[in-house]
Amino acid sequence: MKGINTTILILLAGLLTGILCESYLPISHKALLIFLSGILVLYTTVHFILKLRRGQHPITGILAFLLFMFLGVTVTQFNDPLKKTNHYTQVTSANSSQHLILTIVEELKPGFYDAKYIARLNQTDSIFTTGLVLLNITKDSTVQRSKLKVDDRIYVNQKLEKLTPARNPYQFDYAAYLNGKNIYAQITTSSKDLVNLKKQVKTLKGYAAKSRSHLQQKINSYSFNKDSRAVLNALLLGQRQELSSDLQESYSNVGVIHILAVSGLHVGILMLLVQFLLKPLGNFKTSRILRCILVIAIIWAFALFTGSSPSVLRAATMFSFIQLGLLLGQRQASLNAIIISAFLLILINPGLIYEVGFQLSYAAVFFIIWLYPKFEMLWEPKNKILKYYWQLIVVSIAAQIGVLPLSLYYFHQFPGLFLVANMIILPVLGILLIFGIVILILAGLNMLPAHVASAYDFLLTLLNTVIRYLAQFDSFLITNIYFSITLVFIGYAIIFSFGNLINKISYTRICIFLITLIALPTGILVLRKQQSNSSLYVLHQYNTSLLAKQDSSKKLIFYLPENKNISKSIVRNFKENQFINSIQNKPLKNFYLANTKKILRIDSLGVYDIPGLKPDYIILSQSPRINLDRLIHQFPEVKIIADGSNYKSYVMRWEATCRKKKIPFHNTYEMGFYKIE
């Protein structure tokens, strides 16, 4: 790929390597800064000597890579909030109520029983602290209180609670997701226990949230359909709280969920629109500079106004560099813009590389820019309408290819109707955005005619109707696809080798492409072999016992009471993450064998004195009334597991006994499932 800045590629590779390796390098801040300074001095010296001799040497590239690798380790450590001495995890206790002062940072989609916010913890008792927490405010119909806004400062006397981990295998781990956003605790309270503090500091994000709220109130005064209003808020204001679950699922199943998240697509359309409006400025040097400044300013104002989500900030950064590249007349400005924007964003926030949205957005844009020219040249229709739709098809296919391995890994499904849906939606999306921006401006100025609002409501209702209609063809939605991280790397190897083969057919490139194709079934066979060991899962199911056993023949057996049913999500998660040939349900037993491990299950009957039996694990279920001291005395080497069918008071007593006797104890209420191999 000619025109790519190889220097920034080397620096980005070094930065990524350092971020990924940071957890394996237990180096103190002081030692890290010494290493970084030493490599910087060495690199500067070597570079200066080579410049005097007008020579080049690979050592400079190696030193630059090492320099930015240690820079990656450094920024990762310094961005880790848990390593700050004033972080609330370092100075607070999770066992008692405390006087807490918080600032609202973001409003989340409410749950069925509570409103949810992300808040910054400013003070604990008399100690000034930092760090983000999840704030849950239980809904109470008897208390009428206005909802909290961004930048609101509140006081509450509550305790910090641990985040609940995933309780069953392959379940979405909300606690891990929040940890990725630097949230490590939650507070649950009610509206009547909150005290709003008058002294507040307004931020740009707060002013933007206030403006969005004002516009939402204006829009609510018109007779928009509920789903239309929800799509309008998502499409133009970046607020998805009002989207119903079934509508969101319909957009996801047909492969166009991305239009409901303000991202690169929306910013790109806005950029093209502004460029078109500023075209009368001409093509003089001063005009180009002015146009570039105006476009970048409008892009960032839009990013701030729509909530400053990570996706829109990434897009704003990327398109800003594209504008600068075009202004400077650089070749491959788009690809260089992607690389530079990714470099800067990761340098500011190293944790971005673990975010699904970051990975998907950059993969989509990169492969559109890389594959689009290769696919477009395969056919050049003369008709303008055919050419337009051909370009849409090519863009959709290039983006889908780019995100396919990651999508299969994270979501385990493939929307077969993505091409049809994109051909219908993308041509009108620009119209919906432009029309919507006009609607918001007129509503904000109290100049929006009712018939204009009704026309936009009709368009959004028609859009939702089409999406729901396409979502009915569920036979085109391929689900429960097993795809591991190993297959992700193999998948991208196939895509890159195929792209190079299209660019230039040669014997070497054909061989590389065939090798990557062969690697796919080989990798699947190796993964199947790795999953051949027998495993027993003690799952967490509220008020009942549930076990799952996977044997070497890839048969999955669920053990549960005869009058109970298994959650469909549990079955689906196993199918998506394991090679499963068949699934069976069987009644619970009191003895299990997983490889050489012996597992005894003690139920409400409390029977465990079986001659000759020396279990490795004991599962306590259905709140058996046993003398745990006597049980431990009889089996001193055993590990004890308490499932979700037990009374919590029993579990707490058992845990205290095991802690006193130094016996390993696992509580599925707090620690989730347990896997025995």
Residue-wise pLDDT for 521-552, tens only, equals 999 888 888 877 788 999 998 888 999 998 87
Report the alpha-carbon distance of residue 179 to residue 657 in Å, rounded: 31
> How confident is the model at residue 238, as a pLDDT?
75
Report the alpha-carbon distance of residue 258 to residue 94 in Å, rounded: 39
Confidence of residue 674 (pLDDT cuts 50, 70, 90): very high
Phi, psi at 154, each rounded to 5°? -130, 155
What class is the 88-201 domain?
A: mainly beta
Side chain identity at residue 155, one-letter code = Y
**Packing angle of the helix pair 384-411, 356-376 (nearest 10 deg):** 150
> How confident is the model at residue 548, as a pLDDT?
92
Higher pLDDT, 396 or 514: 514
Report the alpha-carbon distance of residue 445 to residue 215 in Å, rounded: 10
Q: Smallest Cα–Cα separation from 540: which of 404, 401, 643, 412?
A: 643
Confidence of residue 616 (pLDDT cuts 50, 70, 90): very high
Asked if the model's pLDDT at residue 620 lies above 90, the reply is yes
Phi, psi at 429, each rounded to 5°? -65, -40
> How confident is the model at residue 640, as a pLDDT?
94
CA angle (87 as vertex; 85, 91 as ends), nearest 5: 80
Asked if the model's pLDDT at residue 166 lies above 60, the reply is yes
The mean of the pLDDT values for the chain is 84
Indicate the DSSP class of residue 541: E
Asked if the model's pLDDT at residue 233 lies above 70, the reply is yes
Asked if the model's pLDDT at residue 657 lies above 60, the reply is yes
> How confident is the model at residue 428, as a pLDDT?
80
Asked if the model's pLDDT at residue 28 lies above 80, the reply is no
Asked if the model's pLDDT at residue 144 lies above 60, the reply is no
Asked if the model's pLDDT at residue 330 lies above 80, the reply is no
> How confident is the model at residue 66, as a pLDDT?
87
Higher pLDDT, 93 or 312: 312
Write a three-state SS string for 106-129. Answer: EECCCCCCEEEEEEEEEEECCEEC
Confidence of residue 558 (pLDDT cuts 50, 70, 90): very high
Confidence of residue 1 (pLDDT cuts 50, 70, 90): low
Confidence of residue 186 (pLDDT cuts 50, 70, 90): very high
Residues forming a β-bridge with 643: none
> How confident is the model at residue 184, as a pLDDT?
92
Which whole-number Å values give the CA distances from 179 to 113, 131, 184, 348, 354, in the listed order? 23, 11, 6, 18, 11
> How confident is the model at residue 95, as a pLDDT?
61
Asked if the model's pLDDT at residue 331 lies above 60, the reply is no
| Of 262-266, 334-338, 402-406, the least confident | 262-266
> How confident is the model at residue 38, as a pLDDT?
85
Residue-wise pLDDT for 96-109, tens only, equals 778 899 999 988 88
> How confident is the model at residue 308, as a pLDDT?
67
Residue-wise pLDDT for 341-372, tens only, equals 888 888 888 888 888 888 888 888 888 888 88
Average pLDDT of span 147-157: 88
> How confident is the model at residue 666, as a pLDDT?
94
Q: Smallest Cα–Cα separation from 106: which of 32, 158, 181?
A: 181
Percentage of the chain beyond pLDDT 90 is 16
Average pLDDT of span 456-469: 90
Average pLDDT of span 64-82: 87
Average pLDDT of span 120-144: 82
**Phi-psi sector, 578: left (phi>0), alpha (psi -120 to 50), beta:** beta
Sorted by where each begins, the domain ranges of the chain are: 6-78, 88-201, 355-403, 485-530, 535-676
Confidence of residue 510 (pLDDT cuts 50, 70, 90): very high
**Phi-psi sector, 140: left (phi>0), alpha (psi -120 to 50), beta:** beta
Report the alpha-carbon distance of residue 233 to residue 216 in Å, rounded: 8
Q: Which of 233-242, 270-279, 422-431, 553-562 has the highest mean pLDDT?
A: 553-562
Average pLDDT of span 393-411: 88
> How confident is the model at residue 93, as a pLDDT?
64
Average pLDDT of span 21-40: 81
> How confident is the model at residue 623, as a pLDDT?
92
Asked if the model's pLDDT at residue 142 lies above 60, the reply is no
